Amino acid sequence: MGYTDLYMSRSRVALNISDDSKTSVYMLGVPFDSTTSYRPGTRFGPDAIREALANIEFNSIMHDEDGVTLEDVNIVDLGNLKSTTKPDTMVDMLSKVMSELRGKRTLIIVLGGEHLLTLGAYAGMVNDGIVASNDDYASRSKNKKSVGKDNTMLVVFDAHFDLRDEFNDCRLNHATYLRRIVEDNGDDGSNVLHIGARGYSREEIDYAVRSRMNILPARDILFGSSNTIGSDVKRRIIDAVSSYDRLYISIDLDAIDPAFAPGVGTPEPFGLHPLHLLEVLASLVERDKRIACLDVVELCPPYDNGITAVLAAKMILEMILMHVRSL
């Protein structure tokens, strides 16, 4: 029995995708929101996205002319990670599942759930599932390098940096997960591209600069155009990822303006247009970068009218189809 069998439970909503498809994509949910500090309820996000996926059309708005749709893809839904309220337990379980899945060398999609899950999923994809516990993070030296790095760039869409050293008396939560990832890389953030930040503390921006993280704040995109990214922005993105073979992409839905995505755990005004994200994603795939994993986090159904879930589902659909076309 592997970790996938041990830690995953069957989902309540299944996608009606044919098993005869040639291409497979693996999908799993992480219904966890125990460290949420504003709006609780992101634990209901995975099944809300599944329900939306099961009820939207499968064609692409980006490349409709080639006729490729989600009907040509077999989505292997592994269900949800087993329920827990302990941050370190969730991170440990998820990292082990992801380490097991990465050997399949296909796109893996993780549905959230709060953003802390990215710590576990990313560790599993690049570090053989090695991740420190909550107690380890509380006691270890800030500059201790606990794991190595590989040729994977982490591309994060988020309204927040999530680079606090500690938040709500805890060093392992949704507002600190990216700090832990960069620390695990020896305080080197050069393999992180952060897009869409517009709400952060002085501590976070100082650490982002000190760690040499690649930063593309929301204002640089918004003031360029209303719904497309300019040539300078594209150049900065391509330059940042040019030396990496594969990408881990994390989409916090609060990167998008609340006008388009109201149902999130920590909303922040003056966000990105959904087409900004699609254009960036399309640009990355066109550069022959292998997308190893996509996570979509912070959907909060209790505060949603349904449109945020549908947007999340459509983003995932487009990403799957980009993956299929790149094969």
Q: Which two tokens stand for residue 217?
A: 């704040």
- Mean of pLDDT over the chain: 88
Using DSSP, state whether 70 is helix, strand or coil: helix
Grade residue 147 by pLDDT with cuts at 50, 70 and 90.
Answer: very low
133 pLDDT higher than 80: no
Domains, the chain, in order of start with CATH, read 3-326 (3.40.800.10)
Supply the pTM of this predicted model. Answer: 0.91
Residue partners of 103: CB distance under 8 A and separation at least 6: none
Q: Can you give the pLDDT at residue 61?
A: 83
Q: Strand, coil or helix: what is 196?
A: coil
Ranking 23-27, 119-123, 174-178 by mean pLDDT, the lowest is: 23-27
CA–CA dist 292, 312 (Å, integer): 19
Q: What's at 167, amino acid-wise?
A: F
State the CB neighbour count (10 A cutoff) for residue 2.
11
Q: Cα–Cα distance between 314 and 123 in angstroms, integer?
A: 26
- Low-confidence winner among 9-18, 75-84, 312-321 (lowest mean pLDDT): 9-18
> pLDDT at residue 142 above 70?
no
- What's the burial of 5, exposed, middle or buried (CB within 10 Å: 0-12/13-18/19+)? exposed
* Each residue's pLDDT tens digit, 201-222: 999 999 999 999 999 999 999 8
As a whole number, mean pLDDT of residues 281-286 equals: 84
DSSP bridge partners of 296: 111, 251
Across 48-71, average pLDDT: 83
12: number of CA atoms within 13 Å, CB side?
8
In tens, the pLDDT along 224-263 reads 755 678 888 888 999 999 999 899 999 999 999 999 999 9
Query: Alpha helices, DSSP H only, in the chain?
Result: 3-7, 45-53, 87-101, 117-126, 134-139, 177-184, 202-210, 218-222, 231-241, 274-286, 307-326
pLDDT band at 58 (very low <50, low <70, confident <90, very high): confident
Burial of 100 (0-12, 13-18, 19+ CB in 10 A): middle
Per-residue model confidence (pLDDT) at position 134: 54
Amino acid making up residue 191: N
Q: What band does 5 get if pLDDT is binned at 50, 70 and 90?
A: confident
CA angle 241, 152, 96 (to 5 degrees): 155
